[in-house]
Amino acid sequence: MHELSIAMSIVDMAQEEAERRNVRVEAVHLELGALSGVVKEALLFSFEIACDGTPLEGSRLVVKDVPIEVYCPACNLPKILASMQWFCCPDCGAQTAEVIHGKELVITALELKQ
């Protein structure tokens, strides 16, 4: 379960920033792409475990799901895929492999409290 090691890294990064600013972390905001290889529920569970006994204990992990967005060469536009199994434009059916979004695993914000 690699989500635990990811959660521990998130906690470490947030804790470092909190110590640097001398504040408490209330929540960590994260963008999680459908192609990131991370299971959201496992990450949420692992985050709670990783926070135990740290200054982040009791904080929240707020996850924003990022859908798979590809560039369709036929339509000449970005398109959101309906399924991760079919890398085809949902409108015209053209095949594409150019992923614009969906691989994200990014901390976007920290909610801090003095």
- Is 51 part of any known ligand binding site? no
- Is 72 part of any known ligand binding site? yes
- Is 89 part of any known ligand binding site? yes
- Is 88 part of any known ligand binding site? no
3-state secondary structure string, the chain? CHHHHHHHHHHHHHHHHHHHHCCEEEEEEEEEECCCCCCHHHHHHHHHHHHCCCCCCCCEEEEEEECCEEEECCCCEEEECCCCCCCECCCCCCECCCEEECCCEEEEEEEEEC
- Is 2 part of any known ligand binding site? yes
Residues forming the annotated binding site for Ni(2+)?
Answer: 2
Residues forming the annotated binding site for Zn(2+)?
Answer: 72, 75, 89, 92
Residues forming the annotated binding site?
Answer: 2, 72, 75, 89, 92
